[in-house]
Amino acid sequence: MWEWIAGLIWLMGILAVTGAVLGQDERENFMPLMRLAVLLYILRLISLLPGS
């Protein structure tokens, strides 16, 4: 359980750093990729749940 919590914190940190480094225009272009990364992470969490 702690692995996915640590992974979520890591992912949020990457998103925060990326958002801070990129300007407004680049951030808008980068958002679909970020959404895809979050979606893949959530799907991975669901697949790791016991009983699935």
Mean pLDDT of 21-29: 74
Give yes or no for a contact between 49 and 23, defined as CB atoms under 8 angstroms apart.
no
Could you tell me the residue ranges of all domains in the chain?
Answer: 2-48
Mean pLDDT of 12-27: 76
pLDDT tens by residue, 34-45: 788 888 888 887
20-52: b (≥16 Cβ within 10 Å) or e = eeeeeeeeeeeeeeeeeeeeeeeeeeeeeeeee
pTM of structure: 0.47
CA 33 to chain centre: 10
Q: How confident is the model at residue 1 (pLDDT cuts 50, 70, 90)?
A: low
Residue 34 token pair = 């970020």
Residue 6 token pair = 């640590």
Instruction: Please say if the pLDDT value at position 28 is more than 60.
Output: yes
